Amino acid sequence: MKTGLFLIIPIFNNYWYDRFMNLRFLTILFILGSSSVIAQDESPKEIMQRVDRLLRGDSSQGTATMEVVTEHWERQVTLEVWSLGTDYSLLRVLSPAKEAGTATLMSENDIWNYLPKVDRSIKMPASMMAGSWMGSHFSNDDLVKESQLVEDYDITLSYRGARDGTNVWEFDLSPLPEAPVVWDRIIYQVRQSDYMPLWAKFFDENGNLSRTMTFSEFTEMGGRLIPLVMEMQPTDKPNEYTKLRYDMMQFDVGLDTSFFSLRNLKRQR
């Protein structure tokens, strides 16, 4: 089983590495909420598998705004996003003007970046993969990670009940013995009523919380209920965060794998 885990350039400062989030995981989560037919007594694994099935063949297109705040600077970028299942994605920057046209293509295990200023597409080497994507707290690695949570983690239900007045499930994910993932444990909290994820917490082996992802503004878009806002925050740098907000999203737009090509990567519209 190949999993796309890419890690950083040696010389890129560690600084960048800290920011990462599993984008795939997010996608799973917001698709999770799309189905309204979910039995109450399904096992965690079954729930995840259903998600898996929902994702296969599901295409989407949308626009989003990403805000990144770090110790040294603040940025805001608007993006157009296309995706097909978990293996294909195309993200293109719309603004600011200086970076408009920069695009990232993820096709199975490869990442390509298109840089309009030099009119070149560069394939990401292994050493680049842990580098941050577009300066955010996401890494290139996360963008590509093919592994499903089900494949890499053992999922158990650790809590079922009310938290702050809402009925939630808390799933405890621990990596399978040979899974090439660095996290020792991930916990995520999901709303029972509509399967909306509320947050996900990532822990290292010493039990320390490394980062937290929160989901909010659950709105119906393109016929599905999704969290509009996802915010990722590193524990060691409490003043930093990356916030992704979907402005528009539609599903089942009829994309197939041929759309996710190098040619489309370069195309400006």
Task: Name the minimum Å distance from CB 265 to other proteins.
Answer: 15
109 binds other proteins (CB under 8 A): yes
Structure tokens at 46: 């079954």
For residue 252, what are the CA distances in angstroms to 10, 53, 77, 259?
40, 14, 25, 14
Part in contact with other proteins (CB under 8 A); list of ranges 12-20, 43-51, 188-196, 219-227:
12-20
3 binds other proteins (CB under 8 A): yes
With CB under 8 A as the contact rule, the residue among 43, 56, 57, 123 that binds other proteins is 123
For the segment 187-206, give every residue that binds other proteins (CB under 8 A): 202, 204-205
182 binds other proteins (CB under 8 A): yes
In the complex with other proteins, the residue whose CB is nearer, 24 or 224, is 24
183 binds other proteins (CB under 8 A): yes
Task: Name the minimum Å distance from CB 132 to other proteins.
Answer: 7
117 binds other proteins (CB under 8 A): yes
Residues 6+ apart with CB under 8 A from 201: 186, 187, 188, 209, 211, 212, 213
129 binds other proteins (CB under 8 A): yes
With CB under 8 A as the contact rule, the residue among 15, 57, 217, 250 that binds other proteins is 15
Residue 147 near residue 179 (C-beta atoms within 8 A): yes
With CB under 8 A as the contact rule, the residue among 184, 225, 261, 264 that binds other proteins is 184
Count of CB atoms within 10 A of residue 101's CB?
18
In the complex with other proteins, the residue whose CB is nearer, 129 or 168, is 129
Max CA pair span of the chain: 55
> What Rg do the C-alpha atoms of the chain give, in angstroms?
18
2 binds other proteins (CB under 8 A): yes
Closest residue by Cα to residue 134 from 213, 265, 16: 16
In the complex with other proteins, the residue whose CB is nearer, 46 or 99, is 99
Task: List alpha helices for the chain, DSSP H.
Answer: 14-17, 23-32, 44-55, 140-144, 149-152, 262-266
* Residue 79 identity: L
**Alpha carbon distance 197, 215 (integer Å):** 6
Sites of contact with other proteins (CB under 8 A): 2-18, 68, 70, 72-75, 98-99, 102, 109-110, 113, 115, 117-118, 120, 122-123, 125-132, 134-135, 175, 177-184, 202, 204-205, 208, 210
